[in-house]
Amino acid sequence: MSNKYRQIWARIRCYKNRSSILAVPSLRRIPLRGPVVSSTIGFTLFTWLGFEKNTLSAEDELVYTIKHCVLFIQRDEHDKAEQLLHVALRQAQQIQHQLGITYIYDVMANLALEREQLDKAKQLFVTVAQRILADGATEDDPRMVHISSKLARISHLKKEYTTAQIGYDWCIAKLQQLIETTTDDVSTKKLLAMTQDWYGRLFIDCNQGEQGLSLMLSALELMKEVPDVEKEHIVIQLNDIGTVCDKLGKSDDSITYLQEAIALGKELKMDELGTMYVNLGRAYLKKNMIAEATKSCGYGWKLGTMSKNNIIKQEAESCIKEIKNHS
């Protein structure tokens, strides 16, 4: 790879951390939503951004296009992101920027996975893997392990549990080997945390809660070790672990994890606090702590009402009804 391409690739990568832990569907939570910003996609993109097209090189245009693809994804404007990704792909192909092409396919694959377009995501990830292998990578390359983890996740979501389990086992073994042999293991730990979390959820889906909980706890510890993991991910993990503990009859542990999630969620002013309070109320109810359950579910209802979130309100009302029936 030429130094010129390395520099360009570094500029592109700064807009999306390939090893970031992806938010995954929780056992009982409301997904976060970013701000919606109205914008126009198309040939006027760079004028809209305030750039004069004739002052930019083709490589600059590619970088700016990819940057805004990622911004649209972060804002949950997925249709706009997908349209712009196709623009970026054409740009990369026109200048034969092979690394850019591979990266764009990877962003497309992750977007398809996020939208649970599973067949499309699988096809795109396979394309990315083929391109990386053609560039000289081996199957032990961290990029290949990352893709393999995503493919295992796709099998998991398609309820192909045996295939998913084989994939997760292979990825975790490879990642543990990498951690033992590399000095810069931050990215590897993040990927291991993501894979363990997904694997844990597979066990829960298969009614093997204890094994699932063990993996989710291991993922949580890794998340806490990695400095640049967003605290929101840790809050969600704490909430989900608390919910698993509740389902397994571990009410004391459930209360502990949910209280920790709420304390950190308050600091971050997360929209999901109402759901966490409802989960905590149900855990209190299992312990026959009626006053605490009523207070917690009532506060969850208040937060749902204030934020005009009907889903949280309905969950809280259901919890309050459970408390009254219990009494």
Does one domain contain both 251 and 304?
yes
Amino acid at 179: I
**61 pLDDT band (50/70/90 cuts)?**
confident
Domains of the chain: total:
3
Structure tokens, 83: 């349209």
The pLDDT, as a whole number, for residue 55 is 45
What are phi and psi for residue 231, nearest 5 degrees? -65, -25
Domain CATH code at residue 301: 1.25.40.10
The pLDDT, as a whole number, for residue 42 is 28
**DSSP per-residue codes, 258-323:** HHHHHHHHHHHT-TTHHHHHHHHHHHHHHTT-HHHHHHHHHHHHHHHHHTT-HHHHHHHHHHHHHH
Does one domain contain both 144 and 203?
yes
d(CA 304, CA 1): 53
Domain-located, residue 151 = yes
The pLDDT, as a whole number, for residue 250 is 96
**184 pLDDT band (50/70/90 cuts)?**
low
d(CA 322, CA 232): 29
Query: Whole-model pTM?
Result: 0.80
The pLDDT, as a whole number, for residue 258 is 97
Does one domain contain both 156 and 222?
yes
Domain CATH code at residue 160: 1.25.40
Does one domain contain both 206 and 247?
no
| Domain carrying residue 69 | 33-136
User: Mean pLDDT, the chain, as a whole number?
Assistant: 83
Domain-located, residue 273 = yes
pLDDT above 50 for 133: yes
